[in-house]
Amino acid sequence: MATTLIAMSALGWSVNAQALDAPPPDSTPMTLRAAITRTLAHHPDLETFGFSLRAQDARGRQAELRPAPTLNVALENIAGTGDFRGVDAVEATFSLAQVIELGGKRAARGAVAQSGRDAIIVARQAAQLDVLAEVTRRFIHVAADQEQIALTRTATELALQTVAAVEQRVDAAKSPEAELHRARILLARARVEQEHAEHELLTSRRKLAAQWGESRADFGTVTADLYAMPKPLAFATLVGRLHANPDFVRFASEARLRDAEIRLAQTRRTPDVQISGGIRRLEGSDDQAVVLGISVPLFAGRHAEPAIAETQALRGRTDAERRAAEVRAEAQLFELHQELKHAITETVLLRDTVLPQMNEVLTQTRYAYERGRYGYLEWVAAQREFIDVQRSLIEAAANAHNYRTEIERLTAEPLADSN
């Protein structure tokens, strides 16, 4: 059900990464599908549910058991005084007692155990969605860091070109020596930024690999088209999908569990009956007799009422929590939907309009600088604006995919395919 809903839709990933020019020769690119497959197979949090289910199955078997019979041995008139001195007058009774459950208690216990098992399954589905969302977020982070690496390399290359151009102008006595020093400082800072981006990528790759329990990233680049934008659905459509989320299915499952607990508590209004039978040996007269007995607890209904009231209150709390969760989820979904639309708009505008214009601005500014029409500051400013636009594009695209992932986590269903 929920195990693969986010799996292949979160990004519409395809091969288009532009980072890490030389990945390790023994490494292969990592796709989102492969990352999800590894995570579902090896994530530590998911492995715990198998043990929980086995434990609950054991509780279910325990709930189905009938009360065990009781063996009673009683010795009377032993070690007394007078005629009862020693064991000559002993009365020995050997009997078996059996509790007969009434009111459907055994069936009610089984229903509680089964509802508990259903709740664990729903919790596992919710955990799977959380894990899928997290591995998708970390995959997006790696893809964005790869683009940042490519961008810092572009910035370093621009700084190298700037140093070369300024050196020519300084040699030709067209620019002061100070401009060359400033250009070299700019180059040094670009190299520092590149080195920092490389460390950021190493960290994000390690965090991605940790999702499937690895302490190192044994893959090359991640393959993703970061700039392919999703098509968001209408908000009303997304709201209609909220109840498919295991977080809300959990409330229905918990309500069934509470109902089963109420029925179990109500069965305790009917007292169980204990019957017993055995043989009594009267040593003094060398006789034997049959012993029969029956016992019934008194005031069972009165003693059951507090437990019934408790389970009914817990059932009411479940309904209240469900209503509160629905309000919170719808508000969160609205916010995410708005942020997604904004991030898509920003990405498309930067990708299709602003960045091409900035490319043209950078080309023309360099041309003008080399011919003395623009000064050093104008050229450096154009480079900085070019880098800033690309950095904003990476951030906006990553935000769009992250918002999409969060929406899919809330609705437990994929959105439409990317462009």
CB distance 206 to 216 below 8 Å: yes
In a domain, 27, yes or no: no
∠403-406-411 over CA atoms, to 5°? 125
In this structure, how many other beta carbons lie within 10 angstroms of the beta carbon of residue 124?
20
Q: In CATH, what number is assigned to the domain containing residue 153? A: 1.20.1600.10
CB distance 403 to 215 below 8 Å: no
Q: Which domain holds residue 130?
A: 33-411
Give the strand order in the sheet containing 273-282: 70-76, 91-100, 273-282, 287-295
Please state whether 94 falls in left (phi above 0), alpha (psi between -120 and 50) or beta.
beta
In a domain, 23, yes or no: no
In a domain, 11, yes or no: no
In a domain, 149, yes or no: yes
Per-residue pLDDT of the chain (419 residues; tens, 9 = 90+): 443 344 334 444 333 333 333 445 446 889 999 999 999 888 888 888 989 999 999 999 999 989 999 999 988 887 777 767 777 778 889 999 999 888 898 899 999 999 999 999 988 988 999 999 999 999 999 999 999 999 999 999 999 999 998 998 888 888 888 989 999 999 999 999 999 999 999 999 999 999 998 888 888 899 989 999 988 889 999 998 888 888 888 888 888 888 998 988 899 888 889 999 999 888 777 788 899 999 998 888 888 899 899 999 999 998 998 899 889 999 999 999 999 999 999 999 999 999 999 999 999 999 998 888 888 899 999 999 999 999 999 999 999 999 999 999 988 876 544 33
In a domain, 21, yes or no: no
The model carries a pTM of: 0.79
In a domain, 16, yes or no: no
In a domain, 404, yes or no: yes
In a domain, 6, yes or no: no
CA distance 136 to 7: 8
* Gap between the terminal Cα atoms of the chain: 26
The total number of structural domains that make up the chain: 1
Q: Which of 356, 379, 358, 374 is nearest to 159 (CA)?
A: 379
User: Can you spell out the DSSP letters for 269-309?
Assistant: TS--EEEEEEEEEETTTTEEEEEEEEE--SSHHHHHHHHHH
